[in-house]
Amino acid sequence: MSRSVSEIIASLGTGIHIDGQWRDAASGDTFEVDNPATGEVIATLANGGKADADAAIDVAAAKQAEWAAVPARERSEILRRAYELLTERAEELALLMTTEMGKPLAEARGEVAYGAEFFRWFAEEAVRIPGDARLSPDGKTRFVITHEPVGPCILITPWNFPMAMVSRKIGPAIAAGCTMVYKPAELTPLTSLYVLDVLREAGLPDGVLSVVCTTDAGSVVEPWIDSGKARKLSFTGSTPVGKLLLEQCSRGVLRTSMELGGNAPFIVCEDADLDVAVDAAMAAKMRNMGEACTAANRILVHRSVLPDFSAKLTERMSALNVGDGAADGTDVGPLVAGKAVDKVVELVDDAVDRGAEVLCGGSRPSGNGYFYPPTVLSGVSAESQIMTTEIFGPVAALVPFDTDDEAIEIANATEFGLVSYVMSESLDRGLSLSERLEAGMVGLNTGLVSNPAAPFGGIKQSGLGREGGLTGIQEFLETKYLAIPVR
Ligand code: ADP
């Protein structure tokens, strides 16, 4: 029989898990997790600090050698079992995720499938870590090149994809043979605790993955960075926090992977199939209520198709049902917190003050929960804050352009470079625009690029490194080269 969400939450641990044991915070502090659709408190967890962080990193360091020596096949099978368990329990985990984060159940189910797939993908990669052996060009030395786990890793994730953002770090870390200390986002820790339980049930040994939940991220993460015991930090979050962590990591020369902010341009050429373009825009804009670093932030539309495109988009956006993500028929859930709604209100008001026209939505509803309606703004001026700020809400900002050169210039006028989208029925033009866009990823006639088997990541201030794909595991491996003279 299926469990209710309160039964699922009651089955989860305290919020601090070290060396196979759930603990209270050394300080005795706790914090509350709420449901953004209602504002109600749904859980109280241990609120970790430096003492808990120290205990966790000590265990990760102590267990590293033993874990690295576990055969790749065994590590692979833990991941494979975790994938299977998560797939079996998808409905339960989706409900939990929706309750703490707000996304509609259908999207939460999609995230469970996507997040679990990282475990399957890296189960397959764990047994295929490549090496190399060759002769030096002068024929006098044999080179043997191997890849070893980088060592204990610090993992930090945001609240917007509470499962996928961490499974794509834990998956490759397990595959590579690294121990981990992990700090989930304070707004959405419950999904992480559920995934941890599944990994333990799948056979992950005690001490390989310790978790410390906290409302004071710096008090946990900085001691980890400065411990001298961690060798790598993998972060997904905002660019300002990423920069701070890069500075902190420089002190001990830790390796870093950084998935930071985005400001994705979405270009609709005049030769686009407008139905394809609107479908793609809906996916790129509305996935997760727009709370995604891949969200289309600036929708650049050729002036000749702007009236048709904006009419079709506005029709689709206006038809969406806003409500509690757990209720049937909800397309758009609440934003994650009241502050998130305040920010969207500020961006929309600023754009309107600078001349944008509201085609639908555009004002905060009254009542409980952190809701904001799907909104389309047309004629957004270049000076508007919305053009340079990640919206992280269900707001489509439309900007006209006349030539491809102009579209590229607007698209690249940002310090970010995560993802871009191009809509055109001409393959040559689509490829040429994709090549000119400064982004780590481009969606050509699609609004969805994320795939566990593909390298996710950005350039410029959107980050360093890639997650998923063939290169995802390399972020957790060091290269070692052995020189052997030919005698
Ligand atoms: P967002 O705005 O998406 O919450 P943040 O970058 O603030 O993005 O948060 C992403 C993650 O980084 C969260 O887990 C958060 O707790 C963590 N974080 C925030 N500040 C720090 C910090 N000073 N040191 C380490 N982690 C931090």
Query: Taking 80 as the threshold, does the pLDDT of residue 368 lie above it?
Result: yes
- Give the distance (Å) from ligand 1 centre to CA of residue 249: 15
Residue 1: pLDDT over 70: no
The mean pLDDT of 251-263, rounded to a whole number, is: 97
pLDDT at 143: 97
Average pLDDT of the segment spanning 449-471 = 97
| pLDDT tens per residue across span 390-412 | 999 999 999 999 999 999 999 99
For 47-65, what is each residue's pLDDT tens digit? Answer: 999 999 999 999 999 999 9
- In three-state secondary structure terms, 346 is helix
153 assigned to active site: no
pLDDT interval class at 2 (50, 70, 90): confident
Gap from CA of 157 to ligand 1 centroid (Å): 7
Q: For 263-290, what is the mean pLDDT?
A: 98
- At 433 the pLDDT is 98
Distance CA 395, CA 359 (A): 11
Amino acid at 100: E
Residue with CA closest to ligand 1 atom 12: 237
Q: For 369-392, how does the pLDDT look when each residue is reduced to its tens digit (9 = 90+)?
A: 999 999 999 999 999 999 999 999
Half-sphere exposure of residue 153: CA atoms within 13 angstroms, side-chain side: 32
Closest CA to ligand 1's atom 26: 217
Q: Which of 124, 306, 157, 125 is nearest to 235 (CA)?
A: 157
User: Which residues, judged by CB distance below 6 Å to any ligand atom, belong to the binding site of ligand 1?
Assistant: 156-159, 183, 185-186, 217-218, 221, 237-238, 241, 244-245
Q: Say if strands 141-149 and 477-485 run parallel, antiparallel, or are unpaired.
A: antiparallel
**Residue from 101, 169, 227, 241 to probe ligand 1 pocket by mutation (most atoms less than 8 Å from CB):** 241
Domains by residue range for the chain, with CATH: 5-260+463-482 (3.40.605.10), 264-451 (3.40.309.10)
Phi-psi region of 289 (alpha: psi -120 to 50; beta: other; left: phi over 0): left
* Per-residue pLDDT tens digits for 315-353: 999 999 999 999 999 999 999 999 999 999 999 999 999
Question: What letter would DSSP give residue 476?
Answer: G
How confident is the model over 114-140, as a mean pLDDT? 97
